[in-house]
Every structure is written in C-alpha cells, then in structure tokens.
Structure 1
Amino acid sequence: MSATTQPAPAHLSPPLFSAGNPALWVVVAAALVLSVVMGTRQTFGLYINPFSYDRGLPVTVIAFAIALHNLVWGFAQPFAGAAADRYGATPVVAFGAVTFAAGLGLAAVAPSGLLLVIGLGLLVGIGISCTSFGVVLASVGRVATPQQRSMAMGIASAGGSLGQVLLVPLAQMVREGAGVPVSLFVLAVIALAIAPAGLILDRGRKKSPASVTHAAAEPDTSSLKEVLALAGRHRGYRLLTIGFFTCGFQLAFIGTHLPGYLMLCHMPLGLGATALALIGLFNMAGSWGCGWLGGRFRQQYVLGWLYLIRSGAIAVFLALPTTGASVMVFAAVMGLTWLGTVPLTSGLVAKVFGTRHLGTLFGVCFLSHQLGSFLGAWLGGYMFDLTGSYSLVWGATVAAGVLAALLHFAIGDKPADASPGMLAAALS
C-alpha cells in the first residue's frame, strides 16, 4: 500500500443522489430488501396470542420460536456475510428469500410447537441472515466513498423501515379478515419477490473511480483469518461487539412483547400493531439522522447517546400511566433510536478495518446483537409465564442500555494496523 495514496476528497465524489453514482441504486436495492425482511419480522408479535389461543401453544413455546430465529440469524450471519464477500450478494439473497418464505409458509400451517419452531425459528433465521444487514449494508459500504458511507448506510436502513410501516398493518388486516395462515402466506409471497435484488446489490462489487481511490487507503488485510485475528485483539471491536448485545435485547423484547404488554394494560386491541408501525415510521427519520450524525461526529459517541436516550424513554414510559398518547410518544421516540445503531456500528467497523471483509466482521459483531435478541424475546415470554408480568425484563432493558452507553463512550476508532508485524502478532 502506498504511503502517499489519499482518499478522494469529498468534493470530488459524485453526490449520493446523482444518477451517475453507482451507490444510489445499491442503496435503493438495499432499502427494498431490508424493508421486506425487517417489516416482516416485526409482525411476529401479532401472532403470539392467535397461536396461543387457536392452536393451544404455550406463550413460552411461541416466544422461543421467535427468539430462535434471532439466534439462528446471529450464528448464520458471519457465514452469510463471508459468502457474500466472496461470491457476491446475488446467490446469497436469492437463497435467503426462498428460505425465509419457506419458513413463513411452514409456520402458517404448523399444527405443533416443533414445526412452528422449525419454520419461524430455524428457516426464518437462516433466510434473514442472507437478506439483512451483514449482506446488504456491506454492499452499500463497498460502493460508497468514506465520506458518504455512513449516510448511505443510514438511508438504506431508513428506507428499510418502510416495510415496518406497511407490512405490520397489512399483516394485521389480513389476519383479522382471512386468518393467520393466509396472513403468513401473503408475507411469504412478498419475501420471494426480493430474490432478484442481489443483482443490483452486486453493482457495488464493480468499483467506481472514487471507490478505487479510497480502497487504497484502507487497511491491507490479506486474508480473512488475519483480519479476524486482528479484530479479536482490537479493544474497540470487542467493546462494540459486547455493546451491540444490548441493542438486540431491547429491540427483540419490545418488538415481540409490546402488543401483549399493552393488552395487559387494557389498551385497545389494535394499538400494539399501530405502535409497531409508528416505530417503523419514525425509524425512517432516526436511521437517516443517525447516518448523518455518524458522518459528522465520532460514531461511537453517537451510539452512546442513542443508548442513553433509548433507556431514558423506556424508564419514563414505565413510570407514567399507560395511555394511548403515552404509547404513541414512546413508539415515536423508540423509532428514532430503533435501527440507527446499525449504520453507525457497520460504519465504525468499516472505518477501523476497511470494507474488504466488512460482511464477515459485521456478521461476527451482529452475532452478539442476536444473542441479545434471543434473550430479549425468549426471556420476555418465560418471565410472563412465570410471574404474569413483564416488569423485570422492562427494568433489565433500562439497565442494559446504560451499560452499553458506557462501553461505547470508551471505544477507540483509530484504523487497525494491518502491517505484517501486527498481523503476525495477532496470529501468534
């Protein structure tokens, strides 16, 4: 790597929304895929009570199925990211879309808890790992310049929230009008429709002049084994990975159990779906805003404040009487902080380690997020069956957010030293 090579200045890079910028279409495709995938998984909380009442399944089993998809997603994400790094997004996204749809279809007709766990847990988890952040945002990161990367990832994540705004009410409407099986089959068909999007995402593998220039300034890691060893020894990467656990824990618990919690508070039946849709609506602004902030301030500091705001919002929501207005305000604040962690976290990984193995490195980090998601979704159901209340888990989401903030404020973002001496030390 030449010591005199510098990244292209921001004013020489084509505007992100210019038709001549290849990043534009990759961002659009990424937003489309994330919209369908993230929107669909946010509907799962709407099916807990119907599965319990109509099929006689314990809430713990249903919550375990939803929690398992988060866990499978997490363990499969590094492999999906590595496959996309090596072979491109096209085959990975296509495989993921088919597997995701198959899982939803199996859940639609599953007469037993075991089949529900296989469909909604195993198959859906594998499908999402191939069609979510570790694959699609890595494609965005490769084609965007360093100056535009955080913003591009934020816009892709924000566009992905459109699915939550549209698909949650759609699933609720179809479920009430035609039943649970038809509702899940409709979502399966929509999931299949994103299979060709990988063709557009792979435009990011054809480097633009700006990306060729900035690639030369990134750490020259010669193999996946070496960069994983380097990441394992990087204090900031370890703190980022540990802190990401909290994001998964908070989001999975709220996304899965908020509708049931509102029913316990004697709120109107459709308020849970409305709240989830509102979270998605405000997440569009929140993800864009976090991407914008990440391009202007140190990303770990933005993450720290995001976790503090989220924990504060939960604490205030629990302290005040539960009303329709308080639920709407809570959903709006949560939406502003919902998926803003993703472009900030992936952007920070790219800043420190470059984009060559971004899918894999973010996938490893995301595994921690999904361990938290598994615990948040499953523990909510377990504690409810055990105590009849969600209070203890709500309290845990507040405490975890404060801890995550402290961890992120301590992260260093200096680019990793990928010199032969450091790589040899990491492998020793």
Structure 2
Amino acid sequence: MRSSSVATYRTVMFAACALLMLSFGYRAGFGLFMQPLSQANGWGREVMSLALAVQNLAWGVIAVFAGGLADRFGNLKVLLVGVLLYVTGMAGMAWVTSPLGIILTAGVLVGGGVAGTAFGIVLPAMVRAVPEDKRGWALGVGTAAGSFGQFLVVPIMQQLIEWFEVIPAIKVLAVSAFAMAILAIPLAPYSGASEAPADEVPQSMLRILKKALGSRSYTLLTFGFFVCGFHVAFITVHMPGYVVDLGFAPSVGAWSISLIGLCNVIGAYVAGVKSGRLPRHYILVFIYSARVVAISLFLLLPVSLASILIFSASMGFLWLATVPPTSGLVSVLFGTRYMAFLYGIVFLSHQLGSFIGVWLGGYLYETTGSYNGIWIAGIVLGLVAAVLHWPIQEKDERPLLTAT
C-alpha cells in the first residue's frame, strides 16, 4: 500500500475513534443523572428509566433510517445532523422539568443523536477506509475506542456533577459535544454511496431488507443481538443506583461503569483481532456464555467493593466485544455496500433489548424494591443468545441482495 494511502486511512481511523470516544462516553454516563435529576424534579426512578429506555429505542429505530440515508446519500450529512440532535437533546435536559420533557430530550433527541454518531455510521466508514485484510482489526479498534470513551468521559461527567451540580454540568457537556462535528469531516468519502456502481439499479431499502431476511444466519444474528442490548443497557443505567442501594458511595457506581469501559478496550480489540482469525459465531457463543457465568457469580457471591469491581471488569472484557464479530458477520454475509443499513437492522434488535432492559429494570425496582428479577432474566437470555448463534454459517450471501 502506498504511504499516502496509509496516511489517509490512519487519519480516518483517528477521527472515527475520537468521534466514537465522545459519542459513547457521553451516552455511557447518563445513568449518573438518574438520581440527581429525579431528586431535583421530584420524580420516581421510573421516570428517568423510561426516558433512557426511550433513548435506546429511539437510537435503534433512527439508526435504521440513518444507515439507509448514509448508504444512499453519504454519511457526512447524517453525522452532522446526529451531532445537532445530540447537542440539542443534552442542552434541553438542563431546562425541562416534566416527565414528558425529559423523555423528549434525554430520550428521543439524544437517542437520535447517538444513532447518527455511533457504530452504525462510523464502523462501516472505517471498514471501507482500510485494506480488506485489516477490517477485523479496524472493527476492534473502533469498538475499543468507544469503550475507552466510556472509561475516560464518565469519571469526568461525575466530577463535573460534583463541582457544579447536575444542571450546569449538563450544559457544559452539551457545548463540548459540538467537537464531534469536526471529527466527522474526514469520514465523508467512505460511505455506501461511494461504492455504488454507475449501472446500479436502485432498490428500496425495504426490498433490500426483505432479501436479507431470507438469510437464516442474518435472522439468527439479528435476534441474538437483542440479548446484548438487554445486558449492557440495564447495567449502564442501573448499576450506579444499584451500587448506592447496596450502601456504597455514588463514586463507586461511576468507577464501576468506567472500569467496564476500560476493560472493554481490551476485550473489544481482542474480539476484533480474533474475528479475523476464528469463526465469528463461535466467538459470540463464548461471549454470551461467559456473561451468564459472570452474572451468576455476582449474584451468588457476597457483595463487597472487590466483588463489584471484579464483576465490572469481567463484564467489561465481554461488553462490546460482541460488536466486531457481529458487524463483521454482516460484512461477510452481504459485503459493505449496504452495511450501514443492514447493521442498523441488527442494531435495532439490540436497542429493543436495551429498551426492555432499562425499562424493566426500573419497573421491577419500583414494584418489588429489588433488581433480582432483572438479573435472573439476564442469565436466561444469555443462554438463549448462545444457542441462537451456534448454527450461524459464515458464507457470502450477497447474491440474495441482487436476485430479482
């Protein structure tokens, strides 16, 4: 590869990784707002739980349209609109005082912002920018960058809350989110639209989806990713409050989420590298099975600061490690032309799981005073996900998309 080409993809990788660090860093810290905003506005915990559940659902639904638009018209416009939604939603959180207001801002607007700035748009651009033999590596690095943002940004968010209190902290964070717009610019040439051949017959995204769902492997992958969303969203939102309920300081909850992010830098990178060498569906079977073991031990062993940190680290190694093999499977099955859209569909399933995990966690806590039911549900679903991924076949199914 020519040195100029190497310099180009390194620039794209740097910008993409920095963008993901900010997008995922902000998003991972929203659980820190649950208690202070609920107390300030006289809400029960279920209000913020519902808002953040809506955020995950909006993220998933809008990601499908964002991916389709990026594949059809280019990714820069989608990225910039995503940044605008992110900033508007975060800023709005500082002004609203009603449950509906927080659902519209922290939920719908921020969810749309994350959809336009996260994996569904950024990872396909990274895959297109690098040589084919580096795609697994690129997916691992990109996913790890999002996790490093979680490690880096969440403690800063907690520190801002302690310094300025929650409302001024949210305003500062909203202004800082504009930096994502600058980082989006180098990704512009690497969209699905740039891969469209001159003689391509345009197809509707609905038609592409119907053809893709004819693949048994793609359908299993889509259903299986639901469980990943259930696990990570519940823990991201409710772990800080769960830790406080156990008698620990709020900072322990923040560091728990941060430690998950730090360990996932390693887990995601290793998963990306291994995805280029081992069958991706077997990697996913291992990840979901290991999550079942980690959650089970956390519930069975006596709770202590050490057990919280060990559990956080264990889940961190398995956290977004699902993303490189999952997104890699989409590219193996269907190539990169419609990757943003087809990964968006898989990710919608993930976000439906996220919605259920966040909302059900808050509902069960308010009705039973405990999170035990949701933890047990996570164990059962982890076993289901391991079973679903086992029969997936890694083969080129692009002819399905071109068949008449």
Question: Aligned letter for 2:60?
Answer: G
* CA distances 1:243-283 after superposition (whole Å, capped 9, x unpaired): 00000000000001011111121123310001111111111
Match of 2:222 in 1: 241
2:144 maps to 1:163? no
State the 1:58 CA deviation.
1.5
Question: Aligned letter for 1:41?
Answer: R
SS at match of 1:284: helix
2:108 maps to 1:122? yes
Match of 2:338 in 1: 357
- Tell me, in whole angstroms, the C-alpha distance in 2 between the residues paired with 1:411 and 1:278: 32
- Tell me, in whole angstroms, the C-alpha distance in 2 between the residues paired with 1:206 and 1:423: 19
Match of 1:187 in 2: 173
Question: Aligned letter for 2:43?
Answer: L
Deviation larger for 385-394 or 45-54: 45-54
- Tell me, in whole angstroms, the C-alpha distance in 1 between the residues paired with 2:82 and 2:370: 36
For the 8 Å contact 1:300–1:408, the answer to whether it is kept is yes
Deviation larger for 136-145 or 64-73: 136-145
Question: Aligned letter for 1:354?
Answer: G
- Tell me, in whole angstroms, the C-alpha distance in 2 between the residues paired with 1:417 and 1:158: 28
Question: Aligned letter for 2:16?
Answer: A
Instruction: Return the match for 2:264 from 267, 270, 283.
Output: 283
- Tell me, in whole angstroms, the C-alpha distance in 2 between the residues paired with 1:419 and 1:341: 25
Match of 1:267 in 2: 248
Structure 2 unaligned residues grouped into runs of 5+: none
State the 1:203 CA deviation.
3.6
Match of 2:389 in 1: 408
- Tell me, in whole angstroms, the C-alpha distance in 2 between the residues paired with 1:350 and 1:226: 18
* CA distances 1:362-398 after superposition (whole Å, capped 9, x unpaired): 0011100000000111110000000000000001111
2:375 maps to 1:389? no
- Tell me, in whole angstroms, the C-alpha distance in 2 between the residues paired with 1:279 and 1:19: 35
- 4+ residue stretches of structure 1 with deviation over 6 A? none
Match of 1:87 in 2: 73
For the 8 Å contact 1:90–1:196, the answer to whether it is kept is no
Match of 1:308 in 2: 289
State the 1:52 CA deviation.
1.8
SS at match of 2:396: coil
Match of 1:75 in 2: 61
Q: May I ask how many residue pairs the two structures share in their alignment?
A: 401
SS at match of 1:23: helix
Match of 1:250 in 2: 231
Match of 1:423 in 2: 403
2:357 maps to 1:376? yes
For the 8 Å contact 2:212–2:400, the answer to whether it is kept is no
- Tell me, in whole angstroms, the C-alpha distance in 2 between the residues paired with 1:162 and 1:243: 25
For the 8 Å contact 1:28–1:156, the answer to whether it is kept is no
Match of 1:344 in 2: 325
- Tell me, in whole angstroms, the C-alpha distance in 2 between the residues paired with 1:133 and 1:205: 13
Structure 2 vs 1, CA of residues 206 and 47 (structure 1 numbering), >3 Å: closer, same or farther?
A: closer
- Tell me, in whole angstroms, the C-alpha distance in 2 between the residues paired with 1:387 and 1:419: 48
* Residue correspondence of structure 1 range 58-69 to structure 2 within 5 A: 58-69=44-55
2:40 maps to 1:40? no
* CA distances 1:276-326 after superposition (whole Å, capped 9, x unpaired): 111111111111000011000011111110111112111111111111111
Match of 2:9 in 1: 23
* Residue correspondence of structure 1 range 163-242 to structure 2 within 5 A: 163-205=149-191, 223=203, 224-242=205-223
- Tell me, in whole angstroms, the C-alpha distance in 1 between the residues paired with 2:273 and 2:7: 18
Match of 2:82 in 1: 96
For the 8 Å contact 1:267–1:323, the answer to whether it is kept is no
Match of 1:150 in 2: 136
Match of 1:51 in 2: 37
State the 1:86 CA deviation.
2.0
Structure 2 vs 1, CA of residues 164 and 14 (structure 1 numbering), >3 Å: closer, same or farther?
A: farther
State the 1:123 CA deviation.
0.4
For the 8 Å contact 2:140–2:272, the answer to whether it is kept is yes
Deviation larger for 131-140 or 192-201: 192-201
State the 1:26 CA deviation.
2.0
Question: Aligned letter for 2:104?
Answer: I
For the 8 Å contact 2:71–2:192, the answer to whether it is kept is no
State the 1:206 CA deviation.
10
Question: Aligned letter for 1:43?
Answer: G
SS at match of 2:319: coil
Structure 1 unaligned residues grouped into runs of 5+: 1-12
- Tell me, in whole angstroms, the C-alpha distance in 1 between the residues paired with 2:331 and 2:381: 25
Structure 2 vs 1, CA of residues 60 and 206 (structure 1 numbering), >3 Å: closer, same or farther?
A: closer
Question: Aligned letter for 1:33?
Answer: L
For the 8 Å contact 1:243–1:404, the answer to whether it is kept is yes
Question: Aligned letter for 1:27?
Answer: M
Match of 1:107 in 2: 93
- Tell me, in whole angstroms, the C-alpha distance in 2 between the residues paired with 1:35 and 1:176: 22
